[in-house]
């Protein structure tokens, strides 16, 4: 990891740059696959599954037998862990339900807002070097609570043409209605256009690599909504000299092992802590099974010393981390004054891993600085807010002239007439 001491503000952009390719580097590939899938459907899907995942499938739909087999393959202790995590995620997301908002804006004019589920949603579950069955919980649980009728899950198959049994177990536990063995750009394209085997959906959810992230953004050009741009994982830790260096290093490595394009950053007001963390990272890295992956992510990462809290806060907000851990004596200062972060973890005993798995909050979060404008996935992500209004005779008499005057001023005579014809009958 690179150690940076008191960087000048003019250097911040370069220091905080993510190790990702630009959209321009990837967009050509994505557009080509999208065009192929839109024209050739499942044939194109099969071609790219063979090319990128190295397997030729007779069918890309997970069968009942495969799902039932997964129930036998997942150890009982892990099943219970998944069920406990599901219960916590359910509790947190059920608490996000809100009642109808209703108000009489003026006499006889009733306006209200209600929520309706998005009927057809697609959930993308990364496979690759680590099948993220926890993401099934994070997406399918709120989709089920929201009342989505079609919950379609896509995940890349392994070389044997199968999905991880943990993914299948979690999917059936959470009410997924269809499981498709397809990943990458082709999965997003299939959910966008629809094929014989892959239903077209209204909104696509889920994290992925840079290609999946760009594919989701391009899907919006074809009228499909997405949860957010969620690419390679990232973590920023803010720690002072009261922090435990071993804990901080373990948190940094927990994100670094996600992928070679992940990034982790430590911002600290303590030089001693920075050097202690540096040593701990090297020590803990040596025994990690995913050392080769974590090493490459660590090479993209920084340990940054700043002199005071105000500078630290400004830098953290500028970065806008996906995950933000606070291990400071004055934790309230860093909690109360952060504006840009996907999810915040407070104190020595709140590892980011808790949010990834079982505390209850959602781990599908905006990356690459998008936390400046996007929220993480929540119950409302799976719902639409619809407004309603009902106006009585009294109500139209109260606001009719206002509507007429405004419509006339905008030169929209038919708008005015729609009111005038009614007022004429009421007077």
pTM of the complete model: 0.94
**Tally of structural domains, the chain:** 3
The answer to the question of whether 258 is labelled as a binding residue is yes
Backbone angles phi, psi at 40, to 5 degrees: -115, 0
Residue 12 Cα distances to 38, 302, 306, 342, 357, angstroms: 42, 12, 12, 20, 32
For range 346-352, the mean pLDDT: 97
355 and 256 part of one domain? yes
209 is in an annotated binding site: yes
> Does residue 3 have a pLDDT over 70?
yes
Q: Is residue 378 part of a domain?
A: no
d(CA 292, CA 288): 9
Inform me whether the pLDDT recorded for 21 exceeds 70. no
Q: DSSP states of 78-97 as a string? A: HHHHHHHHHHHHHHHHHTT-
Calpha distance 187→34 (Å, rounded): 10
Exposed e or buried b per residue across 31-62, where buried means at least 16 C-beta atoms within 10 angstroms of its C-beta: bebbebbbeebbebbbbbbeebbebebeebeb
H-only helix segments in 63-183: 64-73, 76-94, 133-146, 165-173
Residue 27 labelled as part of a binding site: no
| Cα gap 364→374, rounded to integer Å | 11
Q: Which domain holds residue 99?
A: 23-229
Of 229, 261, 286, which closes a domain? 229
**pLDDT digits over 280-322, tens only?**
999 999 999 999 999 999 998 999 999 999 999 999 999 999 9
If asked whether residues 285 and 213 sit together in one domain, one would say no
Q: What is the CATH number of the domain that holds 409?
A: 1.20.5.1300
Quick one: 171 and 258 in the same domain? no
Select from 193, 214, 229 the last residue of a domain.
Answer: 229
Q: Is 119 annotated as a binding residue?
A: no
Q: pLDDT, tens digit, for every residue of 47-90?
A: 999 999 999 999 999 999 999 999 999 999 999 999 999 999 99
pLDDT at residue 127 in the model: 84
pLDDT mean across residues, the chain: 95
Catalytic residues: 322-323
User: Could you give the CA distance from residue 205 to residue 224 in angstroms, rounded to a whole number?
Assistant: 11
Distances (CA, A) of 159 to 49, 55, 127, 289, 422: 10, 6, 12, 21, 68
**171 in a structural domain:** yes
- Is the residue at 377 inside a domain? no
């Amino acid at each position: 990891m690179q150690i940076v001491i008191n960087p000048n503000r003019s250097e911040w952009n370069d220091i905080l740059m993510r190790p990702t390719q630009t959209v321009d580097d990837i967009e050509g590939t994505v557009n080509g696959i999208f065009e192929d899938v839109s024209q050739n459907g499942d044939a194109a899907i099969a071609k790219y599954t063979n090319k990128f995942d190295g397997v030729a499938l007779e069918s890309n739909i997970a069968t009942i037998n495969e799902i039932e087999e997964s129930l036998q393959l997942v150890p009982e202790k892990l099943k219970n862990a998944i069920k406990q995590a599901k219960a916590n995620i359910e509790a947190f997301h059920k608490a996000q339900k809100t009642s109808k908002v209703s108000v009489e804006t003026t006499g006889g004019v009733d306006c209200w807002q209600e929520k309706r589920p998005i009927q057809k949603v697609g959930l993308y579950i990364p496979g690759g070097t680590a099948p993220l069955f926890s993401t099934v919980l994070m997406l399918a649980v709120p989709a089920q609570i929201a009342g989505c009728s079609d919950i379609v899950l896509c995940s890349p198959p392994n070389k044997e043409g199968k999905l991880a049994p943990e993914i299948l177990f979690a999917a059936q536990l959470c009410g997924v209605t269809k499981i498709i063995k397809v990943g990458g750009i082709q999965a997003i394209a299939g959910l966008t256009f629809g094929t014989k085997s892959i239903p077209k959906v209204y909104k696509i959810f889920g994290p992925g690599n840079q290609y999946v992230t760009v594919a989701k953004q391009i899907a919006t050009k074809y009228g499909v909504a997405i949860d957010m741009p969620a690419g390679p994982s990232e973590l920023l830790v803010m720690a002072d000299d009261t922090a435990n260096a071993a804990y901080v290093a373990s948190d940094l490595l927990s994100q670094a092992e996600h992928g070679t394009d992940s990034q982790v950053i430590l911002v600290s007001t303590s030089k001693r802590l920075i050097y202690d963390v540096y040593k701990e990272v090297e020590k803990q890295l040596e025994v990690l099974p995913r050392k080769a992956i974590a090493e490459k992510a660590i090479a993209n990462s920084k340990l940054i010393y700043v002199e005071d809290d105000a500078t630290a806060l400004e830098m953290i907000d500028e970065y806008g981390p996906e995950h933000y851990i606070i291990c400071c004596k004055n934790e309230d200062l860093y909690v109360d004054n952060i504006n840009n972060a996907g999810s915040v973890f407070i104190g020595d005993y709140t590892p980011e891993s808790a949010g990834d798995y079982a505390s209850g909050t959602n781990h599908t979060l905006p990356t690459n600085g998008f936390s400046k404008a996007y929220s993480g996935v929540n119950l409302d992500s799976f719902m639409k807010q619809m407004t309603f209004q009902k106006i009585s005779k009294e109500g139209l008499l109260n606001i009719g002239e206002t509507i007429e005057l405004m419509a006339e001023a905008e030169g929209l005579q038919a708008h005015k007439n729609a009111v005038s014809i009614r007022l004429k009958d009421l007077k």
